[in-house]
Amino acid sequence: MDNYAIIFDMDGVIAHTNPHHTEAFKQFFDKYNVDYTMGEFEDHMYGKHNDYIMRYFFKRPLDDAEVKKLAEEKEALFREMYADHVVPIAGLPGFLDGLKAAGYRIGVATSAPRANLDFIIDKLSIRPYMDAVLSSEDVTAHKPDPAIYLKSANLLQVQPSNCVIFEDSYSGVSAARNAGAVVVGVLTSHTADELPPCKRYIYDYREIGIDDIANLLTSPDA
């Protein structure tokens, strides 16, 4: 299956980070007296790039240097809070073993900063599985733009249509669909009704196997 690839988003797809991001953002925004609601977190935080998040919630002009400083502060707080809680989504290690044994190329493509990506995949000891690893720093256009998935497919030397992408957010699913890939929705942060249409939905990787991946890639109506 070396002409096919499986690409994972990270937050909510490799690890269930969103509750910890939420708590980190609460503490961070409270420090700066920034108002927020949980509804705003769902609509304007999950799956979004920090440039967007900071400018939306602070509701005042921020230059690039200030956005970078604020984002780095928040992400350092997240990593500190999450360090003792990093576990994979259920079934992920075995699923990765199966993909690798079947000859699939595997990548991670996330809107998170490189520091978070390195932190999580190394905590989970899954870097050896990965043939391509991309973070927010690797593209200038962010999800729902398909740039990061198109670049990941290119690095994996496969056509985007020969990729299965696992995503959990509205902007992420949109990016994967915009890239022309087959999309599996991971329901850690949203219900299926809250996401754009996906070929399949799972709660964790115990619900999908290697045969399912082959069917998704080779059967138009899978």
- The structural domains of the chain, with segments of one domain joined by +, span 5-16+87-218, 18-82
Distance CA(179)–CA(147), nearest Å, equals 8
Q: Which pLDDT does position 4 carry in this prediction? A: 97
pLDDT band with cut points at 50, 70 and 90 for residue 221? low
Residue 87 amino acid letter: V
- For 199, residues 6+ apart whose C-beta sits below 8 A from its C-beta are 182, 183, 184, 216, 222
Contact status, residue 153 vs residue 67, Cβ threshold 8 Å? no
Q: 53-98: per-residue pLDDT in tens?
A: 999 999 999 999 999 999 999 999 999 999 999 999 999 999 999 9
What's the CATH number of domain 5-16+87-218, 3.40.50.970, 3.10.20.600, 3.40.50.1000, 2.90.10.10? 3.40.50.1000
Mean pLDDT, the chain, integer: 94
What single DSSP character describes residue 89?
Answer: P
Q: What is the pTM (predicted TM-score) of this model?
A: 0.90
CA distances from 200 to 18, 21, 167, 187, 204 (A): 21, 26, 11, 10, 12
Q: Which pLDDT does position 46 carry in this prediction? A: 79
**Domain 18-82 CATH superfamily:** Putative phosphatase; domain 2 (1.10.150.240)
Residue 17 has which token pair? 């980070």
The domains spanning 5-16+87-218 and 18-82 adopt the same CATH topology: no
Q: 151-164: per-residue pLDDT in tens?
A: 999 999 999 999 99
- Residue 184's nearest CA partner among 17, 15, 9 is 9
Mean pLDDT, range 26-43, rounded to an integer: 91
